[in-house]
Chain A
Amino acid sequence: MALDRWIALIILGIALAYGYAAYFTMDDLLPPFMQRNPVWPSTFPKVLSVLAIITALIILLGIEKPSGDQKEPDIDYRKLGQYKIGQAGLLLGLMVLYALMLRPAGFLISTVGFLAIGAMILGERKVHILLPVAALATGIVWYLVEGVLGIFLRPLPFFLG
């Protein structure tokens, strides 16, 4: 089964769960006075879930065949092996780490770390250039966000302030 049909299957699952919630569980919480309304919080989701289930089934069962002139996809999952998927995975992991570290480690340390480690994952080895560039960029962004936009970003680790 091709990837797009697997995805249709997953979306079908989501739509079924969504529809189940809309049809069977949501209305239990509805206060009695709202039940006299012609439209309930679940009305629109009910319509959506039915439409989504139908569309997902159309793709899953291959009822609508793509038209003949298939354009060359700009990125092809069949060539996944040739892509640098490890690097991409590491960078995504780094982003998650950044999200978790941002509060405890403070903006400055986590951002310099993110930029430097990110560049090193991609193969940059000149640390003596990389670190100053990362530090400078971090400083500028922190000044812009904190000073100009006025949004608080804790600059230092939690034990320093």
Chain B
Amino acid sequence: MLEGLLIGLTTALSLTNLAMVIGGCLIGTFIGMLPGLGPMSIIAIMIPVAITLGDPSAALILLAGVYYGAIFGGSTSSILLNAPGVAGTVATSFDGYPMARDGKAGKALTIAAIASFAGGTLGAVLLMIFAPMLSTIALLFHSAEYFALMVVGLSAIAAFAGTGNVAKAVLMTLLGLIMATVGEGALFNMPRFTMGLMDLQSGFSFITLAMAMFALPEAIFLVMNPARGAQGAGSGKIENLRITRAEARSIAPVIGRQSVQGFFIGVLPGAGATIASFLGYAVERNIASEEEQKQFGKGSIKGLAAPETANNAACTGSFVPLLTLGIPGSGTTAILLGALIALNVTPGPRLMVDSPDVFWAVIMSMFIGNLVLLILNLPLIPYIAKVLTIPRTYLIPFILFFTLMGSYIGQNNATELLILVGLGVCATVLRFADYPLAPLLIGFILGRMLEDNFSRSMQLYDGVGFILDRPMTLGLLVIAALLVIVPSYRARRARARKSGVADGD
């Protein structure tokens, strides 16, 4: 591990990569602050830039920096405007915004920054310990297990994303998988489902799809509902960034607990930062003393530190399945996976062996990124917050233009822009009907790999026999089925109990 750390340090501390971390964090904070642009949209917009860099470590470092920056920027707008840019920072606004209203905006931002820093750093330490262990186990997996594992991942994502509406999330996943089969695959040298269109020969571009699923609907919603961008007025000046020793002492245990809890929630596929932050907030409120409990929701520093620590730790945790298994657990890591594949790096258990520099550089850049956020971004926040005063008449055309550019740069093809607009309209309609879009994108990105592993196992075992021949595969597939069936079964039973016709139990 020490050797790995050193490799990572040398890569991450090169001048270019340092510039990437700093630049990524700044860009992420800057854009993450804008209402309606979450980390997924920002990373999607940044991908063409990262891919043109050509160097996978630099690209991943840049994107990870953008990711952290975006989360941090999202907390800033939650605190200052009560307008969370991201679902993961909604819990931050519970106590952050009341603090800002009391004129303690500076203090709230400092606590948020320290909590994020600690969450991210402790998360990275845990990642360093657990990722190598997990990837040693993962090396025992064959394509049959990989196939089953991806099915488990996809069903877990569907089960979590579609709380109460698992069928919708499953349908979206399947739609993503179906879209992934369009075009020419690697395994079979023939175009499929292109409807004779040349433009679909190489399939849908994942950058276009990511833009269309996230950035475009958000921009359209901002246009349709101006209130969405500006709930609550700005709280004016940001001053007095210092916190007292007593305050630091009271939030320290919260940060410690939530780093660990948040990390492990982040590791689970589909759970991620949002669940981690809400759960962290709830847990800390429950174990706080009676007096402190009354403070929650009115500007408690513990209530601010808990979700902030948890969401950053969870972001780091979500890198574990990505780096060790090559299976993204969230929309954001799915986009990162797409970028890595485009750069000819396949994340998975072989990553640590084949390109240790990429693996360790990413981990090292997490430490550096967190440090940059704390030292560089925090003092700059009062200035960066000025971005919130850009009028929306300017903001929205620019967001739309960047989505267009991102998709054009990726493919260098104007037809791609028409596909982008078309898919964007579809995505908006799906959002209206409360269909979750992240499963679609994850399904799309995993689709090729899923099919490749499936086909390989079929070829090795001359049919579907591999499901029965390999107990682990069967076990994983059973888990996947349970993940999808149990939540809707429980919902059904809960409803039945409510109407007084409960069965047993």
Give A contacts to B, CB under 8 Å: 2-4, 6-8, 11, 14-15, 18, 21, 26, 29, 34, 37-45, 48-49, 51-52, 55-56, 58-59, 63-70, 73-77, 83-85, 87-88, 91-92, 95-96, 98-100, 102-103, 111, 114-115, 118-119, 122-124, 130, 133, 137, 141, 145, 149-152
Contacts and interface: CB of A to CB of B under 8 A. Distances in A.
B221 interface: yes
Contacts of B494: 67-68
A41 B192 contact: yes
A119 B398 CA distance: 9
A133 B185 contact: no
Given A55-B174, A96-B418, A88 B223 contact: yes
Contacts of A11: 171, 175
Given A65-B492, A115-B398, A151 B193 contact: no
Nearest to A62: B167
Interface of B is mostly: helix
Contacts of B224: 75, 83-85, 87-88
Interface residues on B, range: 35 or more
Nearest to B171: A55
Most buried by A among B165, B178, B415: B178
Contacts of A29: 190
B459 A38 contact: yes
Contacts of B141: none
Given A52-B171, A102-B408, 14 more contacts: A3-B429, A4-B433, A14-B178, A39-B454, A45-B192, A49-B178, A52-B174, A59-B171, A67-B163, A67-B165, A69-B164, A77-B433, A102-B414, A124-B391
Contacts of B450: 44
B469 to A, nearest CB: 14
B175 A75 contact: no
Contacts of B405: 141, 145
Given A44-B455, A64-B166, A102-B417, A118 B400 contact: yes
Nearest to B392: A122
Interface of B: 48-49, 52, 163-168, 170-171, 174-175, 177-178, 181, 185, 187-188, 190, 192-193, 220-221, 223-226, 228, 391-394, 396-398, 400-401, 404-405, 408-409, 412, 414-415, 417-418, 420-421, 424-425, 429-435, 450-451, 454-455, 458-459, 461-463, 488, 491-492, 494-495, 498
19 contacts: A3-B432, A4-B434, A7-B430, A11-B175, A48-B181, A52-B171, A55-B167, A64-B166, A64-B167, A68-B498, A92-B425, A96-B417, A99-B421, A102-B408, A114-B401, A119-B393, A124-B393, A141-B405, A145-B405
Contacts of A151: 52, 409, 412
Contacts of B431: 75
A43 B458 contact: yes
Q: Which of B48, B397, B420, B450 has the most CB of A within 10 A?
A: B397
A56 B172 CA distance: 10
B396 A91 contact: yes
B396 A59 contact: no
B444 to A, nearest CB: 12
A51 B396 contact: no
B171 A56 contact: yes
Q: Is the interface of A mostly helix, strand, loop or mixed?
A: helix
Contacts of A130: 394
A11 B404 CA distance: 26
Contact of B397 (A75, A114, A149): A114
Nearest to A125: B393
A115 B175 contact: no
A69 B492 CA distance: 13
B175 A52 contact: yes
A150 B178 contact: no
Contacts of A69: 164
Closest 7 CB pairs of A and B: A118-B397, A99-B417, A67-B164, A83-B224, A124-B393, A4-B433, A39-B458
A115 B396 CA distance: 9
Contacts of B398: 115, 137
Contacts of B175: 11, 14, 52
B458 A100 contact: no
A55 B123 CA distance: 37
